[in-house]
Every structure is written in C-alpha cells, then in structure tokens.
Structure 1
Amino acid sequence: MSNANELTIAAARDKLRAGDLSAVDLTMACLTAMDAGDTLGAFVHKTPEIALEQARAADARLQAGGAPDLCGIPLGIKDLFCTKGVPSQAASNILAGFKPEYESTVTAKLFDAGAVMLGKLNMDEFAMGSSNESSCYGPVVNPWRSDDRELSPGGSSGGSAAAVAGDLCLAATGTDTGGSIRQPAAFCGIVGIKPTYGRVSRWGIIAYASSLDQAGPMTKSVRDAAILLGAMAGHDPKDSTSADLPVPDFEAALTGDIRGKKIGIPREYRVAGMRPEIQKIWDKGAEMLRDAGAEIVEVSLPHTKYALPAYYVIAPAEASSNLARYDGVRYGHRAKLAAGDGITEMYEKTRAEGFGAEVQRRVMIGTYVLSAGFYDAYYNRARKVRALIKRDFEQAFAAGVDAILTPATPTPAFGLGEMSSADPVEMYLNDVFTVTLNLAGLPGVSVPVGLDADGLPLGLQLIGRPWEEGELLNHAYVLERAAGFVAKPQKWW
C-alpha cells in the first residue's frame, strides 16, 4: 500500500489487525515519505534502523493476537523527549552530541505499546517560540501554502505539526507550555490536545517551565488523539507532579452526543484587532455545537487580559532555573577556552555559544524577575494573577459550563521571518488564546474547522474541566464531524 503513510491511526490499526497491511510496509511508506519531505525540515534525527526493528517486532506481536492499539503505528518524537541512545538536543547547540542513557516515560510507554519511532522532530530551541525559527537545525516549513512564501508551522512543536500534516508520519508527540501543541496544530490543520497538568508524565522530557509543561498528542483526527493520549497518559512515580488517577478509555468516550451540554463563549477573548475571519469561524463553531444540541452561553474570564504578562514572567523565571544546569561541565557543548580562563569564563562562553538569542532573552528575563528587589514586584505578583486566572475558570465550570469554545490563534499561519522583528512581544501575542490553560493547568484541544480566504487552515480551541479529557475530546469529535474538515496541503515538497 504505497500511500499507507496517509492513513489515520484508527484506520491503520484496523488494517494491521486484519492482516491487510504489515507494520514493516507501513513503516517503509512513512520512511519514504520522511525522506521525500526533507524540504520541510521536520525530522532532524532519523532512526530508520530502530523503526524497522520495532516494526518487525510489532508484526510478530500482531500475528500473536491481542496487540495494543498503537502496535505497528509509526510516530515522530519531538526532540524534547529523551530517547535512549538517540540524540535528544531540544533543538539547542548546547546539547550537541547528547545521547541519553535512559528513555523518557512517555516514549517508554509508547514503545511498550508497540509504536514505531521514525525519528526525532524539529522544534523551537528548548520549546521557546511560536514559529519554529529558534531551532539550531533551522526553521520548519509549513506544508500549507497560499502563495510563494514559506509559512511557519507554529511552535514550539512545529516539526511535529508539519510532519503529521504532510503525512510523513501517522502522528507525533508534542509538548505544550503556553500553546506549543495547540497553536501549531491550528496552523497546520491537524488536531492537538494539551492534557490536564499531571495527566502525562514529564519525566525524561527536557524542561522549559516545570509548572506549565505538559506533553500531548498531535494527530490527524480526534479519534487518533484519543487513542494516542490513552497510551501516553498514566501515573509515574518518577514524576512528583504526575496524578495518581486511572486513565479512562478516551476513545470509548467519543459518543458524538453532547445534547444538553453547556458551552461557554468567553467575552474577554474577543480581543481588539482580531481578524474578521477568526471571529466568523468562531461564531460558526458555536453554531455547529448548538445544532448538535448544546446550549451556548456567554461566560466571563475577567483576568484573561493579565494572562500573557503573567505567563512571560513565570515561564522565563522557571526557565532561568531549569537551564542553569547547562554549563559545559558534564555533557553537551563546551566552549574552547583561552589561556588563563577559569570556570567562570567556561560557563559564560559555553552558554553564550550554546544558547540561541530567544533562549538567552528568556533566561535573562527570568533571572531579572527572580532577583533581589524584583521578586515580589514581578514573580510573586504573577503567581497571584495565575491564581486569579485559575479561579475564573473554576467559577465558570462551577456555574455549569461543560466546555469553553475559543479561537486557537489570532491569525492563520504567517510567513517565516515576518514575526522576527525587533519587538519580540509581537511574536508573544500569538499565544494570547492559549497561555491561560497552562496557567490554570486545564486540558485544551485545537480542532481544524475551516480555511481562510487564502486557503490556510483555521482552528478552534475547546477548553475542558480538569481530568475530563474524555468529555473534552467528545466535544471536539462533534465539532470535527460538523465542520467536516478534510482539506490537505497540496504537495509541493
């Protein structure tokens, strides 16, 4: 089956179990597509030998019967996940040559379920970015085009989004600290879910901001997201923030019935300067859910306007602390030293050479807001705002709202280089609809619902109650079916 790489996880699972397709053939189709898609810059460390070895093991497991849902399914793994013996650089020069001697909990769970790793995927350096332009490997190019421009796939999980949208793999892992799954999913016309904080283990995932980071699936459909999330989720004793809760059958929750459910539309998300096409698709999404039997109500999340400033204090502060360990002493890059240089010079030169401009900027901001005299003025104040944002959502859900519908992004995909201006705040504003969920620890999913006037995908975001990813995915499933989004990027690579 030459176009097997275009299958969804659910369709491939059925063909594999029926014996209509082998895991080796499916993997070969993806490896061929991956090599043909080098122009996109999505895969940065290819692992064909590992993939074929895992595929052969999956075929044996399938023949024996009783194989898990992901058995034989080829995936791309974001470069933030540590994979044993395979480069895991977080797209940073400071981790050049680093090959972990251990496996992240998420990838270990995926491999135990029989999944196949095609390789590691490009991303913004240390997950800091919204355009996948801060990577040491160079930018990723969005498979979608409206003219001759190369478009951003979003970030930080831009390689994951581009690989899934371009059918280089059946699905991919992503991480989301302020929208890094949902924004690229919207830009590339795929589904991306950020689970509740603590639903998926962070152990073995290179940290950016530990109280905000959460891993999740990036897939071609809501059903695929449910299948992949079920394999990724679960309690992990190695992660102190991992929730000791049972993992529901997320796929079984996709009933398609939301009659009587209450969907909130937050008035504060109607931001100044929002494009009319974003407002139109948002209104259309609300109408689709109303037609499916849901009640649409307006809700207020009054502290939303403080979310971006609070996020860009808290996240850099945690990054400053987390990235202090990269100093050239034990692993990764070490600068060449001049005669007379001591350990201080080694630290300074190594970090100056190893970290890119955006990472340096955020580390400096974080160090500043944590410094004596500014800790209370910035960091403690941001923590208080975070608590108020969380309370806003709690009050909305306590009033009976089952899910909240918002845009996923304020714009469709923009051109590479267009946001790389002297003012980084212009790029940060791309996270305006997504950062609130990370601050509140809530689950959110981006679903493609239509195209703009230039033929680029637009996504809507659904926000759910904590630990109720099953119900959230069911709302997304209804929206997906009503929208009927089947568009694919025209292959130019």
Structure 2
Amino acid sequence: MTDLHRLSIRELSEGLAGAKFSSRELTEHYLKRIEKIDAQVKSYVTVTAEQALAQADAADALRRAGGASVLTGVPIAHKDIFCTQGIKTTAGSKMLDNFISPYDATVVAKGKAAGLVTLGKVNMDEFAMGSTSENSFYGATANPWNLNHVPGGSSGGSAAAVAADLAPFATGTDTGGSIRQPASFCGLTGLKPTYGRVSRFGMIAYASSLDQGGPMARSAEDCAYLMNVMAGHDAKDSTSVEKDVDNYVANLNGTSVKGLRIGIPKQYFNVAGLDADVKARVEESLKKLEEMGAILVEIDLNMTESYVPTYYLIAPAEASSNLSRFDGVRYGYRAENPVDLMDLYKRSRSEGFGKEVQQRILIGTYALSAGYYDAYYVKAQKVRRLIQQDFLKAFESVDVIAAPAAPTTAYKIGANLSPVEMYLGDIYTIAVNLAGLPAINAPVGFDKDNLPVGLQLIGNYWSESQLLSVVHQYQQATNWHTQRAAIAEENA
C-alpha cells in the first residue's frame, strides 16, 4: 500500500488489527518516506531505523499472540527533548550533541508500554527556546507548506514531521506555546494539557513551572489517542497531579457544542500586529461554531498587556537555574584543554550554548540576582497570580475562551525578527502556561499565501476532554484538518 501515511490513527489501529498490513510494513513505509522527503524538510535529528523495525517486529509478534493494545505497532516521532534510553537526546543543542540517555522519559516509556514504534527524534529550538526552530545546533527545519518558511517552535520538528506525513503523530512540549504555535503554522491539531497532567520526568527542563508535554497530530481524534497514552500521575515527577485520567477517545463526542459558551476576549482581537487574514479565518471558524449551536460571549481579559513582560522574566529566570547544570563537568559538551576550572565553565557554556539560550540565561540570572530579585522575579510572580485570576473570573461566565494561536502565519526562514518582535508573537499562548491552563490549536484555513491559520481554544483546569471534543466536532463539520501540503502527497 502506497497511501498508509494518509490513514488516521484509528484507521491505522483498525488496519493493524484486521491484518490489512503489518507494523513492519507500516514502519518501513514511514522510514522510506523519511529517507526520500526529509532532506528537504529536515525534521529529524536522529532516525532510529534499526530499533524501529525491531519494535515493529515485536509488535507484530504480540499481535499474533493476542496481546496487542489499541496502538500496538503504530509509529511515532519524539521531540528531541524527551530522554530516550540508548538514543542520542540533544534538546537541539551542541551542549548535548554527545549525550546518550541511560533511561527513558516517562512519556517515552508509556509509549513503549502501549506498543508504539519510535521512528526517531525530531528537531527543535535549542532547549525549547524559540518560536521558529531556527535556534537549533542542527539547522533550521522547514515548513512543509512552504519550504522557505519556518514550521514554528519550539516543537517545529514534531509539527513538520506530521505535516509532511513523516510520522502519524508526535510528542511535543509547550512552555509558552511550543505545541500550539507550530501546530498553527503547520495546519495541525496540538494540545497543551493542564500543568501536571503529563509527566515531566525525563523531559529536559527549560522552565519547570511552565513546561508541559502534549500530543501533536492532524486531528483532535488522533491527539486523543496519544493523550490516552501520555496522561496520568507519575511518582517520579513531583509536579505531576494525582487525578483520574479520562478516556479521551471515548469522550470525543462528550461535549455538546450546542449551548457551549465561547468567550471572545475583546483585547485579543485588537492586538497590534494581528494579521488581517488570521483574524478573518479565526472569526470564520467562530461563526461556524456559532452555526453549530455555540454561543459567542464577549469578555474582558484585562491583564493582556502583562503577559509578555511577566513571561519573559519568569521563563528566563527558571532557565538560568535549570541550565546551570550544564557546566562541562558531568556530561555534555566540554571545552578542550581548559587552563583551570573557571575556564572550563566559561568556555564549555559559551561554546556549547547558542545565542538565544545565552541571552535568556543572562536575562534570567540578572532577574534573580541580589538587589533585583524582589523588583523583577517576585513582582512577576505576583502578576502571574493576577493573570490566573483574570482567567478564572472569565470561566465563571464561559466554558472555553477563543483566540488566534498566533498573530501571524509562519515567518520566512532567516527573517531575523528582533527579540521583541519574536516575543510579541507569543502574545496569545504564553498566558495559558503562566496560569497552567489547557489549550488546543485547530487548523481553520489559510492566508493569501496558502499558509495555515490556527484557532486556539483555552479551557479551564482539567478540561482536555472538553477541548478535544469541541475541536473533534468542529472537524466533523469542516475539512481543514484533512488538507495536505504538496510535499506530503509524495509517495515513497
């Protein structure tokens, strides 16, 4: 079969169960596509062909023995921020170019337990710091819709791999929009779960109070299958919450769009820099939801102007602390021939980290330094609480909140936006991480250059099922999620 990459996760599961094709055939199909197409997209950092075929054979044997689960034998790509035992885990950085993890991240281990086949590790902005996937030691990943444009970041490799049909779904992480924004730029569905819903054990830390893993796929249904694997309490992660996990697939029709109150923050649709095409597509998608029975309610989110300055104090401060462990001593990149310990530290870090990471470490270190800690970091944490309260007040009158996922479509590779321009591009996503809320991106059309546009729906705590259900029903009534870039139509 030459079109296996066009099948949904449910269709892949049913095809494997019905012996229409084997996991080895499916895995070989994807590996051939990667070999043929990925030289243009550059989504993979490491392709684990030998291990993938061994896992596929094991999955086929398990299925013959009658012990298979729903996803046994289905391939997946992992963002290169999740530790994988025996496989290089780089976080997109020269600092970890030689690091082979001795253990699996919980998300990876759960995937293995579910029978998923790991195709490889995909590219990302270095240590998840960036919105374009250009901040990678391994070079820029291209957007499958237009190879001259970025796929977004930091989970750009995950988005590009799925959008080019080089993996049926992928893991991503979201610290300030790093699942939702690349999903928007690449025409995919991507879910950022409630903080604590998915284990962070073995996920290389950027900003510990903001980071959260989640699924990226073509549809809400596909994401639901991966959420059923990823979600759940983990004793190895102190921030993981002990709370019952929904069956996200079974709940896909569990929320009625009819009567659903969707909050429309007036501040969000008056943001300077909101592209006219993006605004129009988002408004059209909301009109469609209204036709399906949803009620649109204008709301105020008065803390909107505080999002960017608050986030860009807290996230770099936590990055400064988390990345202090990369010092050239224990593992990772080590400067050659240091003259003393201070020289080892200085050169290992200045040679091992890229420009954006160094910049954020410096900002964070300054914000945490004596004399500035109270003025910057402590104050930002207080404003963070006000942002959370702003959302909770809104949820007293609405069920979900709608917004663009990004103010523009994908930037051109090498656009060289200033740090301020780049950070302002996160205006719609970062508050969700500051508040710890769940949010989802759904593709809702294209701009004049045929680049994808995304609608973001933000939910109250633990409402992942609701978000997936609303988007699933929207996707039953529209076909934006089925659109494919020309490069994805190529057969291996």
Which range, TM-score by smaller chain?
A: over 0.9
Cα deviations by residue, 1:118-144 (Å, 9 ceiling, x for unpaired): 000000000000000110000001111
Is 1:481 equivalent to 2:482 in the alignment?
Answer: no
Residue 16 (structure 2) aligns with:
16
Residue 134 (structure 2) aligns with:
133
SS at match of 2:172: strand
Higher mean alpha-carbon deviation, 177-186 vs 51-60, is at 51-60
Alpha-carbon distance in 2 for matches of 1:8, 1:430: 31
4+ runs of 1 displaced by more than 4 Å?
Answer: none
- In the TM superposition, what is the alpha-carbon distance from 1:299 to its structure 2 partner? 1.2
Residue 360 (structure 2) aligns with:
362
Is 1:462 equivalent to 2:457 in the alignment?
Answer: yes
Residue 283 (structure 1) aligns with:
283
Contact 1:79 1:90 in 2 (8 A): yes
Higher mean alpha-carbon deviation, 224-233 vs 257-266, is at 257-266
Is 1:403 equivalent to 2:400 in the alignment?
Answer: yes
Q: How does 1:280-359 map to 2 (within 5 A)?
A: 280-338=280-338, 341-359=339-357
- In the TM superposition, what is the alpha-carbon distance from 1:228 to its structure 2 partner? 0.3
1:72 maps to a residue whose letter is: G
Residue 208 (structure 2) aligns with:
210
- In the TM superposition, what is the alpha-carbon distance from 1:64 to its structure 2 partner? 2.9
Alpha-carbon distance in 1 for matches of 2:297, 2:305: 20
Contact 2:282 2:444 in 1 (8 A): no
SS at match of 1:21: coil
1:136 maps to a residue whose letter is: F
Is 1:82 equivalent to 2:80 in the alignment?
Answer: no
Contact 2:13 2:70 in 1 (8 A): yes
- In the TM superposition, what is the alpha-carbon distance from 1:325 to its structure 2 partner? 0.1
SS at match of 1:431: coil
Q: Which runs of 5+ in 1 are unaligned?
A: none
- In the TM superposition, what is the alpha-carbon distance from 1:414 to its structure 2 partner? 1.2
Q: TM-score, normalised by structure 2?
A: 0.97
SS at match of 1:13: helix
Alpha-carbon distance in 1 for matches of 2:323, 2:433: 20
SS at match of 1:480: helix
CA RMSD of aligned residues (A): 1.2
- In the TM superposition, what is the alpha-carbon distance from 1:66 to its structure 2 partner? 5.2
- In the TM superposition, what is the alpha-carbon distance from 1:244 to its structure 2 partner? 0.4
Cα deviations by residue, 1:229-264 (Å, 9 ceiling, x for unpaired): 110011000000001011111111111732121111
Alpha-carbon distance in 1 for matches of 2:125, 2:363: 18
SS at match of 2:425: helix
Is 1:161 equivalent to 2:159 in the alignment?
Answer: yes
Higher mean alpha-carbon deviation, 250-259 vs 44-53, is at 250-259
Contact 2:190 2:214 in 1 (8 A): yes
Alpha-carbon distance in 1 for matches of 2:65, 2:168: 23
Residue 47 (structure 2) aligns with:
46
- In the TM superposition, what is the alpha-carbon distance from 1:453 to its structure 2 partner? 1.2
- 406, 410, 415: which one pairs with 1:413? 410
SS at match of 2:13: helix
Alpha-carbon distance in 2 for matches of 1:6, 1:274: 33
- In the TM superposition, what is the alpha-carbon distance from 1:192 to its structure 2 partner? 0.5
SS at match of 1:439: helix
Is 1:199 equivalent to 2:171 in the alignment?
Answer: no
Q: Which runs of 5+ in 2 are unaligned?
A: none
Residue 490 (structure 1) aligns with:
486
SS at match of 1:75: strand
Q: How does 1:64-213 map to 2 (within 5 A)?
A: 64-65=65-66, 67-145=68-146, 150-213=148-211
2:233 maps to a residue whose letter is: H
Higher mean alpha-carbon deviation, 118-127 vs 54-63, is at 54-63
- 353, 375, 378: which one pairs with 2:376? 378
Alpha-carbon distance in 2 for matches of 1:480, 1:214: 25
Alpha-carbon distance in 1 for matches of 2:175, 2:433: 6
Q: TM-score, normalised by structure 1?
A: 0.97
SS at match of 1:491: helix
Alpha-carbon distance in 1 for matches of 2:273, 2:199: 38
SS at match of 1:150: coil
Higher mean alpha-carbon deviation, 61-70 vs 74-83, is at 61-70
2:454 maps to a residue whose letter is: G
- In the TM superposition, what is the alpha-carbon distance from 1:80 to its structure 2 partner? 0.1
Residue 392 (structure 1) aligns with:
390
Size of the aligned set, in residue pairs, is 485
Alpha-carbon distance in 1 for matches of 2:305, 2:289: 26
Cα deviations by residue, 1:252-281 (Å, 9 ceiling, x for unpaired): 111173212111111111212311112211
